[in-house]
Structure 1
Amino acid sequence: MQRREEQSPKLISDRLSSGDVAPTPQCALVVEDDIGVCGYALALTDAKQAAGTEQRPGSDTLLRDYPSMVVVQVMPRVTDPSPVRRMVTQLLSSIRSSGSRGVFCELRQSDRRMLDFYSKLGSFKHVPVDKSLPQDAVVMATKFQ
């Protein structure tokens, strides 16, 4: 019997966070507090290449509408979201200047803290995903004007 994680495809965000996929140059930022590094933001300005090895039905639409992807993680000890917002704003600006039309992020439903963070940014909205992603996957995205 296969384990559940072997049956479902690994998220691109998992591969980017773990270092299996390198972020686009100029698209890797960290935020620090008095203790040290407390968060990071990574991006791929073109996620198609990273998705190529994990091609899933329906992902073509997502990658066409939002070719870039971001991964943001912040330690729970961060109580002031302002530095993290500035980091994400800077990252999104870099992505936009690369010519991207939009950006998406993949999250796990269990990561309520980061789902709330993206929701509070105001520009990221939930995007329905196809059945080929793991059941616990949530995709949020924003298009650039």
Structure 2
Amino acid sequence: MPHIRPARPEDRDDLYHICLKTADSGQDGTHLYQDPELIGHVYAGPYLAYQPQFAFVLEDDLGVSGYVIGALDTRAFDETLEREWWPALRRRYPDPAVPASERSRDEAVIYQMHHPRPADPDITAAYPSHLHIDLLPRAQGGGHGRRLLFTLFEALRQAGSPGVHLGVGGRNINAQAFYRHVGFQDLKPLPDGGALMGWTL
């Protein structure tokens, strides 16, 4: 039976690997990126670095097969990244001088590093925390995603958060169905057909 444990610094490579392996709307995104670490720099690394108390992994006989990571206060987390996380990455990856319609997947992620989307105050007022969850195919369908979510929910609740939100893309139909089945509420539609969803803790 796969077990859940707190993430450790040495899990970093596993988190980056899983992030890439689920980067194509839940499917393997390896073929989409020339730099395999790019997507992890945005969606995994900073959580392990700055909010490790809200990072948990699912581990089976083959190793880490999934994770859930979160930030207690989204706005404060964004400010921390602006001060401490993005500067080194921006030096390493220059801002692409390419129109949005012509950007490669790598360039789109790099642009996001230089111009991170601000938190939506309408969302963070009631749902100040946010999360990301990813599982490899071998870990899906056994209730492990729900177990990971509720592990994080309890940690956020104990830290005083009243609510947590997440964003899911329009192409990721399976994830949308999963979140709604678990009990997330739709908060706001996204331009690509996805949604911001929330959970009251």
Q: Decide which of 44, 56, 60 is 1:29's aligned counterpart.
A: 56
Q: Decide which of 31, 36, 40 is 2:67's aligned counterpart.
A: 40
Higher RCO, Cα 8 Å, sep 6+ = 1
- The structure with the largest strand share of the pair is 1
2: CA distance, partners of 1:16 / 1:66: 21
CA drift at 1:16: 5.1
Deviations 1:32-55 (A, max 9, x none): 233322111000000012445645
Query: CA 1:30 to 1:89, structure 2 compared with 1: closer, same or farther past 3 Å?
Result: same
Where does the alignment leave 5 or more consecutive residues of structure 2 unmatched? Answer: 1-39, 83-115
* More deviation, 112-121/60-69: 112-121
Q: Decide which of 56, 60, 68 is 2:121's aligned counterpart.
A: 60
Q: Decide which of 151, 155, 170 is 1:90's aligned counterpart.
A: 151
Aligned partner letter, 1:126: D
* More deviation, 17-26/83-92: 17-26
Deviations 1:10-43 (A, max 9, x none): xxxx865242454523111111233322111000
Query: CA 1:104 to 1:15, structure 2 compared with 1: closer, same or farther past 3 Å?
Result: farther
CA drift at 1:134: 5.2
Query: In the alignment, is residue 110 of structure 1 matched against residue 137 of structure 2?
Result: no
- Superposition TM-score, scaled by structure 2 size: 0.54
Residue aligning to 2:200 = 143
CA-based RMSD of the aligned residues comes to 2.7
Residue aligning to 2:185 = 125
Aligned partner letter, 1:107: V
Larger Rg: 2
Where does the alignment leave 5 or more consecutive residues of structure 1 unmatched? Answer: 1-13
- The structure with the largest helix share of the pair is 2
- Superposition TM-score, scaled by structure 1 size: 0.72
Identical positions, percent:
27
CA contact (8 A) 2:56 2:67 kept: yes
